[in-house]
Amino acid sequence: MDQLSPSRPQAEDATPPKRAPKADPLPDPAPATEAAPKASWRTRLLMFGLPLALIAGGAVWWLTSGGSVSTDNAYVQMDKVSIAAEVGGRITEVAVRDGQQVAKGQLLFRIDGEPYALSVAQATAAIDAAKVEVGNLSASANTSSVDIAAAREDVKFAQVNFDRQAALMEKGFTTKAAYDASRHALSQARERVRQAEAAATEARTKLAAGPSSGINPQVEAARVQRSQAQVNLDRTTVRSPSAGRIAQSDRLQVGQMMVAGLPAVTLVDTAHPWVEANFKETDLADMRVGQRAEISFDAYPGLTVRGHVLTIGAGTGSEFSVLPAQNATGNWVKVTQRVPVRIAFDEKPSRDMIAGLSADVRVFTGGGAVSGE
């Protein structure tokens, strides 16, 4: 029986065992120790520094601004003039259009001036007639002087004749009729003297100059009449009383009859706008004239204009309404009133202002908030 030979080690047993991978070296604990203080310092800075900065900023803002009040019940206002013709007549020329910018003295429209030119000519003729009348009065005064002299001569002759008849009457050489006739002639001669003197006085009175003008009153009255006619003629040309922008000019039509005193066109003074802010009565406790303000406009987002309080209204809006509130009734409800406050611009806005634009107004009512201080 064959003997088995000793078995050989298998190949797997001959392979050397694999080495286990080396573990990564442990990190140095020193950097972690240094980062911990840095994170703690930043945390403390955020926890305490940021609130302190906010408090300091708020304190500075409070001290410099001192608080403010605001309202969005505010509107741009401008002076508006309703221009009317001072004389009536037919419109012959319209020189402006709606929205046009005009200068002071610029022609707006013209009314037919022919009837008024005729009035001027008539008044001129009245002056000439008055001068002719003065000449006639002067001639009458001269004639009256001659009449007085002639009447006085008649008186002298009548007196001599009467004296002669009186002497003859005493001697009985004349009749009673002749004596009475001579006496009547003397009385008539004296009456003619008085009439001539009265006519001369009247003529001198009519020729007298006025105590204030030094001109005969009839001539002066005719000159005044001509001046009035010339004024009416000049008023047929309507010009702009100031610079501004034309509105509501659609009522001006060539050929339309214009009535004196009836508004024909509106002139808006765009050079001097302001804002009327209607603040609640509870916002007026610290408001004063001169305090600075900021104005923004709904039509121009991002535009802010500096201004100041110009005036504070003398009454609430309801006091000046067409139908004032009647609070002495049984059913009374308290309503917070609003007071109009005029805000003036401290700088020219970069955009054109339009009357009636909505605005937001903030008035700084604290210390140091007065404009110009």
Residue 95's CB is within 10 A of a number of other CB atoms, namely 16
The answer to whether residue 22 scores a pLDDT higher than 60 is no
Residue 153 has pLDDT above 50, yes or no: yes
DSSP state of 48: I
- Please tell me which residue, 102 or 172, carries the higher pLDDT value: 102
Can you tell me which residue has the tokens 């004639």? Answer: 143
How are beta strands 257-258 and 244-247 bridged, if at all? Answer: unpaired
pLDDT in tens, 173-208: 778 888 888 888 888 888 888 888 787 777 777 666
Is residue 222 packed enough to be buried (19+ CB in 10 Å), middle (13-18) or exposed (0-12)? buried
Burial 190-216 (b: 16+ CB within 10 A, else e): bebbeebbebbeebeebeeeeeeeeeb
Give 63's contacts (C-beta < 8 A, 6+ positions apart): 367
Give the count of beta carbons closer than 10 Å to the beta carbon of residue 16: 5
Lay out the sheet containing 80-84: strands in order across: 80-84, 263-268, 244-247, 101-102
Q: In what order do the strands lie in the sheet with 107-111?
A: 237-239, 107-111, 89-94, 257-258
Q: Look up residue 195 and give its two tokens.
A: 């009439």
Q: What are the structure tokens assigned to 318, written together?
A: 């309801």
pLDDT for 297-335, tens place per residue? Answer: 999 999 999 999 999 999 988 888 888 777 777 777 888
Confidence of residue 6 (pLDDT cuts 50, 70, 90): very low
Biggest CA pair distance of the chain? 245
Question: Per residue, what are the HEC states of 218-246?
Answer: HHHHHHHHHHHHHHHHHCCEEECCCCEEE
**Range with lowest mean pLDDT among 38-42, 70-74, 194-198:** 38-42
One-letter amino acid of 155? V
Question: Quick one: tokens of 351?
Answer: 């955009």
pLDDT for residue 368 is more than 50 = no
Hey, which residues does 291 pair with through a beta bridge?
Answer: 370
**Contact by Cβ (8 Å): 352, 313:** no
Instruction: Taking residues 53-70, report their average pLDDT.
Output: 73
More confident residue, 40 or 347: 347
Paired tokens of 138: 């002067």
For 356, residues 6+ apart whose C-beta sits below 8 A from its C-beta are: 75, 76, 77
Both tokens of residue 363? 């008035």
Where helices occur in the chain by DSSP H, the ranges are 11-14, 29-44, 50-65, 114-171, 176-207, 217-234
Say whether 264 sits in a helix, a strand or coil: strand
The share of the chain scoring above pLDDT 90, in percent, equals: 46
Distance between CA atoms of 66 and 57, rounded to whole angstroms?
13
CB 339 within 8 A of CB 312: yes
Torsion, Cα of 324, 329, 334, 336 (10° steps): 10
**Strand 274-280 with 68-77, pairing:** antiparallel
Residues 6+ apart with CB under 8 A from 18: none
CB-CB contact of 303 with 297 (8 Å)? yes
